[in-house]
Chains A and B, each alone.
Chain A
């Protein structure tokens, strides 16, 4: 019987899969399905794993995995802890969802192997418990490397504008020096605990760094620009993985260094940044005439609301943030499912080529539009309950901020309605093929999931509670 530590098993198997899928990347559909099965299986396995019983046998294989096992390499110590168990599982499940969509529509031959490599990077980031510096302070540097790695699959060999992938680098690059400086101040605190100066300086630097890495307006440029030019499923996956890692970083920082909150007006900054981000997302979406860009601005608006929820006082913030993020993932992947199919059939996601596309690809068009509307919290879309709950909570403190977010969401809806008129107007490209059954059924499945969450948000109660318990909230 072979016993493997969980980090070794997880990272080793995913890297092995990455190499294998790279070698046979020509068979895109098979490769994507295999990757979806493995990452999905691992995600569910980790989600269900009970860390109180650390030794688990892998089916009929003579392999036992030590869930609490530790590996030590390059000065890093990796271990699965209860607090990050849901983050690891969610990262794997997000990747599985994206790979399933990529099995339907190609997102570039290197998408699966490169994404698996990036996924390993994000898992290392989550699993790191000891590093040369405290893991929280090293994390932004890892995010720089991961964002740089993500550029290759965002550009995907396409001869399109490079602004989107390039802009993904800017927030983490701007943020990481602040964390390194904060590390020096934190080292000074035990030398003279009575001196409040290092606490204040370290707290301010970390708070500013966190704000930068969260990429609110005006550092938002990557979201709409990548949504305009990059393959939709890649955009959705990388956006979600990065934002999940950043939310986890914020949570861990606030827990490890409470003075970041006590010594700085971090929550006030988050609230201000959230309002501006949500408002700008809505205004820009109302003026956007490119479907991908509209999708990106809708996602930006939704992200602004998440930042506002982070700033809620007491224990109300994190449950809402987790709820909103889960719904965001569903809406983004639903939108990506529709948009990727539209791009595949029409050869473009620019508006002139998609005029009347609704008559040939009705289910995928509907999936895209419902994904966009879900990001705006439109009734009967996945995001409705989350947005409504967040707006109510924000309004309890200041109704004007909730009103701004609500008006901004109307901007997203306005942009979406304009697209509906174009998509379901007269067909321009008569050579556009009709929807294939597999493609239609995938879109229908995405629509069913979205609609189910819209009418029964309590379906998410269990998972959200599980994450909250793990987060100690």
Chain B
């Protein structure tokens, strides 16, 4: 079963892999991973629509062209800024993994049976999963770069689905133009945001969890004075010293 076969693109393993790519975007939280993953999702979904639901292959080429253009626009913005777009944010990979697990378990436990028009249940579930991953990204960040990935995860399934349920060229053209405009606006914000990240002050009415990174004062009584206290202090922080050394 090769990539040219209908069975390959409609097999549960392929659908699972496409859903997994969306999870990878959230876990990695790095634009170098996200852009190729988005492209793979677009290619996979388009191939699924072409192979199983009769979408014209020309649409797939156009979708990939639009996403490629979006990637170039975002990439150019990333090259212009000095700091990395994935720099400090409010969540770590473990927290995001827990959220993804909760999302997956929720979908499983609630036995969500969404049937999108003309799609089979497995394909519908994949589309819903991608859309939910997009919403999760939007909920986790206020940064334009990652929010763009969330918005693109919302656009990609719709782009692939639109020619199947509404095979009208103007609709697909307007959809593609809207996607490019959104990416252009977000890439402008990526550049605008970079210069101020260091000086940014979170408004006090927002729910934020500021991290105090200044060195904490040590109480005089807590400082080790005897040899055994120093040894105990060192081992009580295990495995931190060894990790640091590594």
Residues of chain A whose beta carbon lies under 8 Å from any beta carbon of chain B:
74-75, 131-133, 138, 141-142, 144-145, 148-149, 151-152, 155, 157-163, 165-167, 169-170, 173-174, 176-177, 180-181, 183-185, 224, 228, 284, 287-290, 293
Contacts and interface: CB of A to CB of B under 8 A. Distances in A.
A142 B195 CA distance: 31
Interface of B: 116-118, 131, 135, 138, 142, 144, 147, 151, 154-155, 157-158, 161-162, 165-166, 168, 170-171, 174-175, 177-178, 181-182, 184-186, 188-189, 192-193, 195-196, 200, 203-205
Contacts of A162: 142, 144, 189, 192-193
Contacts of A138: 171, 174
Contact of B166 (A152, A180, A228): A180
B151 A173 contact: yes
Contacts of A161: 193, 196, 200
A133 B166 contact: yes
A151 to B, nearest CB: 4
Given A141-B175, A149-B181, A155-B192, A170 B117 contact: no
Contacts, number: 107
Contact of B182 (A144, A177, A288): A144
Given A74-B170, A174-B154, A165 B181 contact: no
Contacts of A169: 151, 182, 185-186
A163 B142 contact: yes
A165 B186 CA distance: 9
Task: Enumerate the 7 nearest inter-chain pairs by beta-carbon distance, A residue then B residue, closest first.
Answer: A151-B185, A132-B170, A148-B185, A75-B170, A162-B189, A148-B181, A163-B142
Contacts of B177: 145
A148 B178 contact: yes
Given A181-B165, A293-B205, A151 B188 contact: yes
Interface of B is mostly: helix
A166 B188 CA distance: 10
B196 A159 contact: yes
Contacts of A155: 188-189, 192
A100 B46 CA distance: 49
A228 B174 contact: no
A132 B168 contact: yes
A173 B182 contact: yes
A293 B175 contact: no
Contact of A180 (B165, B184, B195): B165
A162 B188 CA distance: 10
A177 B131 CA distance: 10
22 contacts: A75-B170, A133-B166, A138-B174, A141-B174, A141-B175, A142-B174, A148-B182, A148-B184, A148-B185, A151-B188, A152-B188, A159-B192, A159-B196, A162-B189, A167-B142, A169-B185, A170-B151, A177-B157, A177-B158, A180-B161, A180-B166, A180-B171
Most B CB contacts (10 A, CB to CB) among A132, A133, A167 go to A132
Contacts of B165: 180-181, 183-184
A193 to B, nearest CB: 18
Contacts of A74: 170
Contacts of B181: 144-145, 148-149
Most A CB contacts (10 A, CB to CB) among B166, B184, B204 go to B166
